[in-house]
């Protein structure tokens, strides 16, 4: 039940609301955390857990894989109420999606090693490659099909039903071909979510996202209940010290993954991630429903399964209390949260964007005859007052600076897309294109750092 129902739905819920363009703008940091970062975290956590918890090395690696799964629901909720640099939010959201896929593949491989008691490096590497690459390919294929299905649905209920069918079809077929169901569902969810936002009317998109958000909440509640039914209070008390030691191993492994991956990124690609952001990623290493779903999905006869469930539940509970609850304050301590004056300017920008969209929609309604000229004039005057008010707030020095950053960022992204298209068509050489793209990426990083410094 957990493996076939809970995991695919939880992963799809997270991916359908993500913006692929944001993930592409921070692709290198995301991949650094999702691939070598997960491996570093697993090895460091497993090595420390072997030493402090006296577990067999294979079981300790399995624990490391379970604890490498991030669950940034609390973090992303905090980002909605506290403004942070958009690139930081993109990195953490993207890492959560692709990290989960990689980590869950490693959980499956480690569980197989624990069950069989045999480690075959060649077979393990082959299985890992097939799972990751196959999951990505199948996810893209099903995402494309799902996007076409959604565009042809007559109403929001049919769209929701189509998305449910897509989730389970993607997961089951990926499992059949030994690809990663989680990676396949993540890629399909990203594809479908972005296609829906660009092709469907807003009411249908809101209904789709609202359904999956509610489903994710209910699944989280059910998972906590399922774990609670399998754990007794005396067992938690008896394992209190191992849980505390597992927390030490968890954060040590995460520190190695974050600081090590970004140090390598800076050396190899000359792409810098601010140290304060790295501290946020360490503090935001919160466990949640996915870790518990993964541990509950382990075979019933797996050695040390009961102890692993207890430790993962204990670690999840502690991180939710000690890290998720004070996370918004931590953003202030680390000086990552942007100033309240910036929030006022953001509100003005939101008003300006929505009012201009309202004006455009009002003109369309007039052209189709759905509103009279008199009603059109009255409503248009109301929207124009909102536009004038918002533009007045944005005319100050700080507003001009923020607007300049937004325009500069949009121009850089557009230039980067043009260079890629020219290279694809053979108009410029690959070396020149790569050099130009690296320069544009560096400028985008500098803009993000300037945004965080304000």
Q: pLDDT, tens digit, for every residue of 16-41?
A: 888 777 777 788 899 999 889 999 99
Element holding 368 (H helix, E strand): none
Which letter does DSSP use for residue 301 in this model? T
* pLDDT score for 397: 45
User: Do residues 45 and 252 touch, judged by C-beta distance below 8 A?
Assistant: yes
Query: Picking from 123-127, 205-209, 440-444, which range would have the lowest pLDDT averaged per residue?
Result: 440-444
Closest CA to 386 of 353, 352, 347: 352
Element holding 309 (H helix, E strand): helix 305-319
User: Do residues 261 and 42 touch, judged by C-beta distance below 8 A?
Assistant: no
| N-terminal to C-terminal alpha carbon distance within the chain | 48
Query: For the residues 97-126, what does the mean pLDDT come to?
Result: 88
Question: What's the chain's average pLDDT?
Answer: 84
Closest CA to 147 of 214, 76, 205, 217: 205
Cα 290 from Cα 279, distance rounded (Å): 23
Domains of the chain: 2-333 (1.20.1530.20), 340-453 (no CATH)
Which letter does DSSP use for residue 154 in this model? S
**Structure tokens belonging to residue 73:** 């629901």
Query: For the residues 119-133, what does the mean pLDDT come to?
Result: 89
Q: Using one digit for the tens of pLDDT, what is the confidence trace for 298-314?
A: 999 999 999 999 999 99
Query: For the residues 403-417, what does the mean pLDDT come to?
Result: 67
Number of H helices, E strands in the chain: 21, 0
Place of tokens 């533009």: 391
The residue with greater pLDDT, 419 or 322, is: 322
Q: Using one digit for the tens of pLDDT, what is the confidence trace for 414-429?
A: 677 678 777 777 778 7
Q: How far, in Å, are 6, 314, 335, 338 from residue 274 at the CA level? A: 36, 32, 12, 15
137 confidence band (pLDDT: 50, 70, 90): very high
**Structure tokens belonging to residue 360:** 């455009």
The residue with greater pLDDT, 50 or 223, is: 50
Query: Picking from 57-61, 77-81, 130-134, 397-401, which range would have the lowest pLDDT averaged per residue?
Result: 397-401
**Structure tokens belonging to residue 418:** 């043009």
The residue with greater pLDDT, 5 or 405, is: 5
**Structure tokens belonging to residue 279:** 């501290």
* pTM of the complete model: 0.78
Cα 79 from Cα 93, distance rounded (Å): 10
Query: For the residues 110-115, what does the mean pLDDT come to?
Result: 92
**Structure tokens belonging to residue 188:** 């399909």
- State whether residue 332 is helix, strand or coil: helix
202 confidence band (pLDDT: 50, 70, 90): confident
| Long-range interactions of 192-195: CB distance < 8 A, separation 24+ | 192/16, 192/143, 192/146, 192/147, 192/150, 192/163, 192/166, 193/15, 193/16, 193/17, 193/18, 193/19, 193/20, 194/19, 194/20, 194/21, 195/143, 195/146, 195/147, 195/150, 195/151
Q: Using one digit for the tens of pLDDT, what is the confidence trace for 353-398?
A: 888 888 888 888 888 888 888 888 888 888 888 888 877 776 654 5
User: Do residues 92 and 76 touch, judged by C-beta distance below 8 A?
Assistant: yes
**Structure tokens belonging to residue 21:** 């363009």
Give me the torsion for CA of 264, 269, 271, 276, rounded to 10°.
Answer: 0
Query: Picking from 90-94, 113-117, 147-151, 223-227, which range would have the lowest pLDDT averaged per residue?
Result: 223-227
* pLDDT score for 450: 58
Q: Using one digit for the tens of pLDDT, what is the confidence trace for 66-109?
A: 999 887 666 777 777 777 888 888 898 888 888 888 898 999 99
Is the pLDDT confidence value at 280 over 90?
yes
Is the pLDDT confidence value at 240 over 60?
yes
235 confidence band (pLDDT: 50, 70, 90): confident
Q: Using one digit for the tens of pLDDT, what is the confidence trace for 144-156?
A: 999 999 888 888 8
Query: Picking from 74-83, 190-199, 429-438, which range would have the lowest pLDDT averaged per residue?
Result: 74-83
Percent of the chain with pLDDT over 90: 34
Is the Cα dihedral 286, 292, 294, 300 positive or negative? positive
Is the pLDDT confidence value at 121 over 90?
no
In this structure, what are the phi and psi dihedrals at residue 55, rounded to the nearest 5 degrees?
-100, 150
Is the pLDDT confidence value at 443 over 60?
yes
Percent of the chain with pLDDT over 70: 90
The residue with greater pLDDT, 209 or 338, is: 209
Is the pLDDT confidence value at 64 over 90?
yes
* pLDDT score for 406: 61
Cα 34 from Cα 183, distance rounded (Å): 12
């Amino acid at each position: 039940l957990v493996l076939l129902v809970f995991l695919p739905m939880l992963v799809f819920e997270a991916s359908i609301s993500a913006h692929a363009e944001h993930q592409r703008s921070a692709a290198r940091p995301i991949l650094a955390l999702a691939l070598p970062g997960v491996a570093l975290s697993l090895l460091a956590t497993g090595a420390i857990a072997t030493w402090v918890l006296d577990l067999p090395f294979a079981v300790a690696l399995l624990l490391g894989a379970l604890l490498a799964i991030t669950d940034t629901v609390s973090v992303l909720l905090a980002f909605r109420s506290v403004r942070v640099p958009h690139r930081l939010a993109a990195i953490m959201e993207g890492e959560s999606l692709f990290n989960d896929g990689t980590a869950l593949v490693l959980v499956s491989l480690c569980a197989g090693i624990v069950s069989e008691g045999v480690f075959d490096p060649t077979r393990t590497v082959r299985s890992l490659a097939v799972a990751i690459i196959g999951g990505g390919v199948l996810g893209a294929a099903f995402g494309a099909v799902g996007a076409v299905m959604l565009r042809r649905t007559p109403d929001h209920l049919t769209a929701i039903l189509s998305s449910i069918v897509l989730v389970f079809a993607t997961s089951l077929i990926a499992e059949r071909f030994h690809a990663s169901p989680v990676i396949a569902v993540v890629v399909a969810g990203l594809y479908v979510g972005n296609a829906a936002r660009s092709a469907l009317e807003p009411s249908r998109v809101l209904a789709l996202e609202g359904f999956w958000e509610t489903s994710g909440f209910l699944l989280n509640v059910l998972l906590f209940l399922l774990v609670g039914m399998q754990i007794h209070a005396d067992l938690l008390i008896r394992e209190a010290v191992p849980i505390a030691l597992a927390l030490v191993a968890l954060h040590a492994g995460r520190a190695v993954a974050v600081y090590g991956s970004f140090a390598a990124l800076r050396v190899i690609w000359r792409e810098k991630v601010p140290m304060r952001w790295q501290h946020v990623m360490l503090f935001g290493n919160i466990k949640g429903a996915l870790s518990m779903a993964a541990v509950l999905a382990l075979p019933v006869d797996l050695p040390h399964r009961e102890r692993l469930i207890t430790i993962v539940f204990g670690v999840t509970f502690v991180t939710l209390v000690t890290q998720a609850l004070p996370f918004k304050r931590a953003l202030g301590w680390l000086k990552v949260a942007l100033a309240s004056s910036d929030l006022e300017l953001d509100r003005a920008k939101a008003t300006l964007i929505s009012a201009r969209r309202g004006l455009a929609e009002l003109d369309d309604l007039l052209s189709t005859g759905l509103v009279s000229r008199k009603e059109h004039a009255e409503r248009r005057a109301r929207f124009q007052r909102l536009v004038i008010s918002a533009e007045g707030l944005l005319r100050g020095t700080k507003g001009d600076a923020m607007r300049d950053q937004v325009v500069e960022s949009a121009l850089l992204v557009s230039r980067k897309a043009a260079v890629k298209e020219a290279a694809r068509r053979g108009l410029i050489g690959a070396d020149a294109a790569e050099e130009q793209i690296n320069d544009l990426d560096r400028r985008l990083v500098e803009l993000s750092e300037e945004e965080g410094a304000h």
